[in-house]
A and B are shown apart, each in its own frame.
Chain A
Amino acid sequence: MKVARREGLLITYALGSCIGITLYDPAIKLGGLLHIMLPTADHTRVDNIYKFADSGIQEMLRKMQAFGGVKSRYICKIAGGAKMFEMQGNLGNIGQRNSESVQNVLRQEQIRIVRQDIGANYARTMSLDVETGVVKVRSFGRPEITL
């Protein structure tokens, strides 16, 4: 999880089934970028709270609030949650469960997802320009998009 104010580029590389979540408070140019790998921290010894959608988002909100962020102003965008391999059954389909969990947690926190680029079968690199709030997603074989 990374937080920056006024300037800087926050970036997370090659999200596969993982999800990148950006929160941006335009009033004070505060940006945060979280990279989660699993849906929930339930029933597990939590060694890294940022690994899970639920505990990760909560900690991100706490950190950003400490930097003066106001939840009602946050612009939220998410990317990732791909299914990299067309495996039969549940194997390798954690991306969809990650997406659902991220969406649920954000809904409970009353944060609306403004734009998203999730699912499909390719990895994504996601960046947030803290000065402008512009979020970009690049992936293999596709033009870079601005979320």
Chain B
Amino acid sequence: MNSYDDMNSMEQDVIREVGSIGTGNAASALSSLLGTQVRMGLPVVSVLDYNAAMSAIGNPEAIVAAVMVGMKGDVSGIMLFILHPDLINEIIGILLGRNFEDYSQLTEMDISAVNEVGNIMISSYVNALSGLAGVDISLSVPEIAINMLGGIMSVPMAEFGYQTDKLMMIRGKFIIRDVELNSDLLMLPDIDSLNYLMKKLVQSNE
């Protein structure tokens, strides 16, 4: 396999399974962090090229918060979790009792809370992945950026630009206090890791 879109339907099913379990883990982690019920919708897993991924997530100049973590060990690559303002507001609203209308109002404390939530979400998905595939994945320290979506998306695109033009995306839907909130997770093992993962995942599925 040379690219994410070379995955056959069985392999896509396996990734969807990772997405489901990961989103479930993420919802329960978020629920215990926020101390409120978090429900989840069925996550949608898709493999898209850069422009399609961009238009699925939003306007390139839209300001979002993104948490990035590097994966090492049996699998190397990047996980990038993108939070839109409504989800950020829900998080800092519950954790810190404040709201924001403009990103410039975010304090260091708010930003580190958002970073931590991103980190927890990413870890939930990585745990689902490593559990299902039976592989060891270690994660780097999470880093957060609050900036234009296009600039943030260019980071994984450039990182894998010599290998592929495609991104693998899991769109999760969380329902907190009856409000539906979308988040986007870009799960980007490098191509060697993707092949390795698929071998392990399909084996364990049989």
Please report A residues at the B interface, Cβ cutoff 8 Å: 13-18, 37-38, 43-44, 47-48, 51, 82, 84-88, 91-92, 94, 98, 121-125, 139-141
Residue of A nearest to B163 (CB): A44
Please report B residues at the A interface, Cβ cutoff 8 Å: 60-61, 63, 66, 68, 70, 78, 103-104, 140-141, 143-155, 157-159, 161-162, 165
A129 to B165, CA, bound (A): 30
A121 CB contacts on chain B under 8 angstroms: 145, 147
In the A-B complex, the 7 residue pairs with the smallest Cβ-Cβ separation, listed nearest first, are A123-B151, A14-B150, A16-B151, A16-B154, A123-B148, A14-B148, A14-B60
Indicate if the CB atoms of A16 and B140 lie closer than 8 Å.
no
Q: List 14 A-B contacts (CB under 8 A).
A: A13-B60, A14-B61, A14-B149, A16-B153, A17-B155, A17-B158, A85-B68, A85-B145, A87-B70, A92-B143, A94-B159, A123-B147, A123-B150, A141-B103
A44 to B163, CA, bound (A): 8
Q: Which of B140, B152, B165 contacts A84 (CB 8 A)?
A: B152
A84 CB contacts on chain B under 8 angstroms: 145, 147, 151-152, 154-155
Residue of A nearest to B141 (CB): A88
Measured CB to CB, the closest approach of chain A to B2, in angstroms, equals 10
Indicate if the CB atoms of A124 and B78 lie closer than 8 Å.
no
B152 CB contacts on chain A under 8 angstroms: 16, 84, 123
A13 to B152, CA, bound (A): 12
Interface of chain B, main secondary structure: mixed
A89 to B158, CA, bound (A): 15
Instruction: Using A84-B151, A91-B70, A123-B152 as known contacts, list a sample of 10 further A-B pairs with CB atoms less than 8 Å apart, ordered by residue number in A.
Output: A13-B60, A16-B150, A84-B152, A85-B144, A91-B159, A123-B148, A123-B151, A140-B63, A140-B103, A140-B146
A24 to B104, CA, bound (A): 35
Q: Which of A16, A86, A91, A94 contacts B148 (CB 8 A)?
A: A16
Residue of A nearest to B50 (CB): A37
A37 CB contacts on chain B under 8 angstroms: 154, 157-158, 161
Indicate if the CB atoms of A140 and B147 lie closer than 8 Å.
yes
A23 to B181, CA, bound (A): 43
A55 to B140, CA, bound (A): 34
Residue of A nearest to B154 (CB): A16
B153 CB contacts on chain A under 8 angstroms: 16
Indicate if the CB atoms of A92 and B148 lie closer than 8 Å.
no
B162 CB contacts on chain A under 8 angstroms: 38, 43-44
